[in-house]
Amino acid sequence: MANTYTQILYHIVFSTKNRVPVLHAERREEMFRYVWGIHQGLNCHLHRINAMEDHVHILMALHPSLSLADYMRELKTGTSRWISKEAVFPGFNGWQDGYGAFTVSMREKDAVIRYIKDQQAHHQQTDYLAEYCRLLDEAKIQYDHKYVV
């Protein structure tokens, strides 16, 4: 794809199955490094990652040969296997079905990086569910609350 040029940035948010709070801070950096390796293998660029105990935020650039659905399958499958094999997060039972993916312009990139970086401070004021619904609302994405809760 020598003549293909794209700039597709996604802010991706996904949670642990049933939003169980198992992504403990002391082992998150290991997961972040593993996720970085997945991005390298998929020829994607990881701009920023952060997590709370029950969910993950990623800002990434998607390679044009890869669909978002294929990327998410590779990311969730790869991390689930690694977490289970290495026993990184006791009680981890997989990722919740689905995810939120929001396109980001280059103008917004630095603000989204700061937002992801500041998750710990942000979540002192709001929980994951409220944050996720706000992101969906701001993007004007229609959703059924029964699938969000």
CB atoms closer than 10 angstroms to residue 2 = 4
pLDDT of residue 125: 85
What is the maximal distance between C-alpha atoms in the chain? 46
Sorting pLDDT into bands at 50, 70 and 90, what band is 1? low
Q: What is the DSSP string of 55-74?
A: EEEEEEE--TTS-HHHHHHH
Does the domain made of 9-148 have the CATH classification 3.50.50.60? Answer: no
E strand spans, 29-97 = 45-51, 55-61
Question: What number of residues does the chain have?
Answer: 149
The answer, yes or no, to whether residue 73 has pLDDT greater than 90, is yes
Parallel/antiparallel/unpaired status of strands 9-15 and 55-61: antiparallel
Domain chopping of the chain, boundaries = 9-148
The Cβ-side half-sphere exposure at 61, using a 13 Å CA radius, reads 12
For the stretch 31-62, pLDDT in tens is 999 999 999 999 999 999 999 999 999 999 99
Q: pLDDT tens across 77-102, in order?
A: 999 999 999 999 999 999 999 999 99
Q: pTM value?
A: 0.91
